[in-house]
Amino acid sequence: MTERYYTAPDLTLVGDDHIAAYRDTGGEVGYLWNGVPTLLLTVTGRRSGRPRTSALIFGRDGDDYLVVASMGGAPMHPQWYLNLRAHPAAEIQVRDERIAVTGRTATAEEKPRLWRIMTGLWPNYDVYQARTDRPIPVVVLSPTS
């Protein structure tokens, strides 16, 4: 079977390098990744209690930020998602702005609409979903007052 990406991603800026460049430049480097916006999500480790940061593609739904727990279509959820489920209070960095948020998994009723928002930004999410039997969650990050 041949997988067809909508866009083959450039992986020259990923992981810790992406996070470091984003932080060091206030998002001037790393905010746009492969033509889509990214944020830094910092969650609390469910076992360690330590902060854990991931660079993620994001979309918007009103005041909320949306991210997808795809891990490229791996059979298991990403660690950041498991940590966020255990500790929903988190922080995002969008460019040079840091925002306290509360995370939750989109409900079954709202997921189709939010999935369309996210695949409109990054169509490869459909490819990732085809790779796995697990339903890939859309996560809603709501700013806290």
Q: Over the stretch 9-66, which tens digit does the pLDDT of each residue have?
A: 666 677 899 999 999 999 999 999 989 999 999 999 999 999 999 999 999 999 999 9
Q: Residues 89-144: pLDDT tens digits? A: 999 999 999 999 999 999 999 999 999 999 999 999 999 999 999 999 999 999 99
Map out the domains of the chain with their CATH numbers. 15-143 (2.30.110.10)
Tracing tokens 């498991």 back to the chain, one arrives at 82
Q: Would you state the pLDDT for residue 9? A: 62
Cβ proximity of 81 and 69 under 8 Å: yes
Q: Would you state the pLDDT for residue 114? A: 98
Q: Would you state the pLDDT for residue 1? A: 44
Q: How far is CA 45 from CA 20, 37, 137, in A?
A: 19, 25, 19
Average pLDDT, the chain: 93
